[in-house]
Amino acid sequence: MKVLLVFAHPEPRSLNGALRDVAVEELESQGHEVRVSDLYADGWKSNIDRADFPWLTPDAQLVPIAASKKAFEANVLTEDVKAEIEKLSWADMLILQFPLWWFTMPAILKGWIDRVFAYGFAYGVGEHSDKRWGDRYGEGTLAGKRAMLIVTAGGWEEHYTARGINGPIDDLLFPINHGILYYPGYEVLPPFVVYRVDRFDEAGFQSAAERLRERMRTIETTSPTPYRQQNGGDYLIPSMQLRTELGDPGATGFALHLNGTDG
Amino acid sequence: MKVLLVFAHPEPRSLNGALRDVAVEELESQGHEVRVSDLYADGWKSNIDRADFPWLTPDAQLVPIAASKKAFEANVLTEDVKAEIEKLSWADMLILQFPLWWFTMPAILKGWIDRVFAYGFAYGVGEHSDKRWGDRYGEGTLAGKRAMLIVTAGGWEEHYTARGINGPIDDLLFPINHGILYYPGYEVLPPFVVYRVDRFDEAGFQSAAERLRERMRTIETTSPTPYRQQNGGDYLIPSMQLRTELGDPGATGFALHLNGTDG
């Protein structure tokens, strides 16, 4: 497979840097082709602003969605954004790797999403009518490709379990896995998460590295998280409510949007 | 009260800009004192990097948590970060206002959190032992103050309800409300959310503005979301698991961490 790994840590000599090297090495030894977008090393610009749309006249209002749409259609997105879109189109698989800062991704990676996931490319795709609400959540430009997260966390694994104080890790990552990756069409593999990384010793690293190698050996065969497709019949259109007969009757929240939870 | 509003939209002539003006005007007419951090207008630097820690020697590894700790203790955080910490210390209430981009805040606001919420200030506060896991989740530097979100979303409100395809808005915002605001001690008020903002007409705006004015008139009396305090006895320490006898027996996910859900 062709794999794009987007890396978002400021220090190459970090645990994240070491894990990235482990992942890339294992992927390549399996015959995969790997490209890395190293956001800090590349000096990635995080913030959507007028510089992204230099063709806007000075007195024109900046409406980010409208400007993104126009720039994508006219092929006048900035060169850095175009280069990332080219890589996403090339890759069969996307890996986002980052340290969990305040329970989500660092600003620099959010800024990569905000700028690269353009209107017409990652959203605003397909027919929008009272019958069909666009190609998203399982359909869209990136359908047929796979994606996964590699995440490091300072806290204990117990703190991120079903009854842990931080909330379950799968719920904390749902806005990313479902809302950012599944939305434009990716099949999303379960995340690879390492905990308590501030206290890592050599044995801890070797154990995490081996777990990561195993995940990298199975990127083609690991089953994706079974999110429900928007246009597969489970949701009413246009209200986008899960049909009342679906989902565990007592359940609420993100888990409803998984297949196989019907009561 | 003293209110700090942190504003994260690139266009002052946007709906967000208009709603900010409505909020500030109403707060001031109620006798509150308001300061605004306009992140785009101020050219806020989003990414934590070596420039945040110029005293690090060139060959020293950048460990963000350790560097943040040292800089806060030695009072050598950068001037822009110090100025924001000063505003947070001054304010009795914090409002974060932003458009929902990919189901969370724009990169520039995440970068404000990443850089301003320093170790020793917003995390790493208080005794850490097997009896007490720091002052966080209801305790900490910002305890006794209030916070809330003002959020605009392009999608329909139905898409963000209990059975809506995007997931419930309170769950999508939990990593911010609980993980970023409650964590360092804020009492968190229910968010103010406006939907379908891409199709707003004048009547829609007036209706949203009036709802917002009402919220701004009641910032001192609105009940905060009743998250459970970490050190109040509901959680086992150090595993930070909610005690088995608490919470609705069938429930999972973020809702467990609210008081009043015990079965």
Put residue A111 in one of left, alpha, beta given phi > 0 → left and psi -120 to 50 → alpha: alpha
Q: What is the pLDDT of residue B138?
A: 95
Report which DSSP code applies to B254: G
Q: Does B14 touch chain A (CB under 8 A)?
A: yes
Interatomic CA distance for residues A139 and A186, integer angstroms: 8
Q: Are residues B220 and B252 in the same domain?
A: no
Note whether B179 contacts A165, CB cutoff 8 Å: no
Interatomic CA distance for residues A56 and B183, integer angstroms: 41
Note whether B172 contacts A171, CB cutoff 8 Å: no
The parent domain of residue A177 ranges over 2-225
List chain A residues with CB under 8 Å of B117: 102
Q: Are residues B126 and B53 in the same domain?
A: yes
User: Residue B140 pLDDT more than 60?
Assistant: yes
Q: Are residues B181 and B262 in the same domain?
A: no
Note whether B238 contacts A156, CB cutoff 8 Å: yes
User: Residue B247 pLDDT more than 90?
Assistant: no
Q: What is the pLDDT of residue A198?
A: 84
Interval A139-158 mean pLDDT: 97
User: Residue A81 pLDDT more than 90?
Assistant: yes
Q: Which of B50, B114, B252 is facing A107, going by the closest CB pair?
A: B114
- Find the closest chain B residue to A137 by CA distance: B165
Q: Does B156 touch chain A (CB under 8 A)?
A: yes
Note whether A46 contacts B49, CB cutoff 8 Å: no
User: Residue B262 pLDDT more than 80?
Assistant: no
Interatomic CA distance for residues A249 and A247, integer angstroms: 6
Q: Are residues A11 and A81 in the same domain?
A: yes
Q: Are residues B244 and B261 in the same domain?
A: yes
pLDDT band at B263 (very low <50, low <70, confident <90, very high): low
What is the sign of the dihedral through the CA atoms of B257, A254, B180 and A37? positive
Interval A47-54 mean pLDDT: 97
Identify the burial level of B120 via C-beta atoms within 10 angstroms of its C-beta, where 0-12 means exposed, 13-18 middle and 19 or more buried: middle
User: Residue A28 pLDDT more than 60?
Assistant: yes
pLDDT band at A130 (very low <50, low <70, confident <90, very high): confident
pLDDT band at A131 (very low <50, low <70, confident <90, very high): confident
Q: What is the pLDDT of residue A261?
A: 67
Q: Are residues B243 and B214 in the same domain?
A: no
Cis peptide bond prior to A64, omega within 30° of 0: no
Q: Counting one residue from A and one from B, how many pairs have CB atoms under 8 Å apart?
A: 211
- The number of distinct structural domains making up chain B is 2
Q: Does A1 touch chain B (CB under 8 A)?
A: no
Q: Are residues A66 and A146 in the same domain?
A: yes
Query: Chain B window 185-244: which residues touch A at a Cβ cutoff of 8 Å?
Result: 198, 230, 235, 238-242, 244
Interval A67-85 mean pLDDT: 98
User: Residue B251 pLDDT more than 80?
Assistant: no
User: Residue B128 pLDDT more than 80?
Assistant: yes
Q: Are residues A173 and A251 in the same domain?
A: no
Q: What is the pLDDT of residue B66?
A: 96
pLDDT band at B68 (very low <50, low <70, confident <90, very high): very high
Interval A49-55 mean pLDDT: 97
Distances in Å between the alpha carbon of B179 and those of A9, A46, A66, A253, B184?
21, 22, 32, 17, 9
- Find the closest chain B residue to A16 by CA distance: B63
Interatomic CA distance for residues A36 and A20, integer angstroms: 9
Interval B86-90 mean pLDDT: 98
Q: Which two tokens stand for residue B49?
A: 């990097």
The mean predicted confidence, pLDDT, of chain A is: 95
Q: What is the pLDDT of residue A104?
A: 98
Spatial neighbors of A58 by CB under 8 A, at least 6 apart, are none
Q: Among the listed ranges A123-127, A244-248, B99-103, B110-114, which one has the minimum average pLDDT value?
A: A244-248
Q: What is the pLDDT of residue B177?
A: 98
CATH number assigned to the domain comprising residue B173: 3.40.50.360
Q: Are residues A243 and A220 in the same domain?
A: no
The mean predicted confidence, pLDDT, of chain B is: 95
What percentage of chain A exceeds 70 in pLDDT? 98
Note whether B104 contacts A230, CB cutoff 8 Å: no
Interface test with B, best of A53, A119, A165, A171 (most B CBs within 10 A): A165
List chain A residues with CB under 8 Å of B114: 101-102, 106-107
Q: Are residues A88 and A208 in the same domain?
A: yes
Q: What is the pLDDT of residue A68?
A: 97
pLDDT band at A129 (very low <50, low <70, confident <90, very high): confident
Q: Which two tokens stand for residue A170?
A: 């799968």
What is the sign of the dihedral through the CA atoms of B32, B38, B41 and B44? positive
Q: Are residues A187 and A244 in the same domain?
A: no
Q: What is the pLDDT of residue A263?
A: 54
Q: Which of A102, A113, A242 is facing B114, going by the closest CB pair?
A: A102
Q: What is the pLDDT of residue B261?
A: 67
Interval A185-191 mean pLDDT: 98
Q: What is the Cα Rg of chain B in Å?
A: 19
Q: Are residues B123 and B246 in the same domain?
A: no
pLDDT band at B199 (very low <50, low <70, confident <90, very high): confident
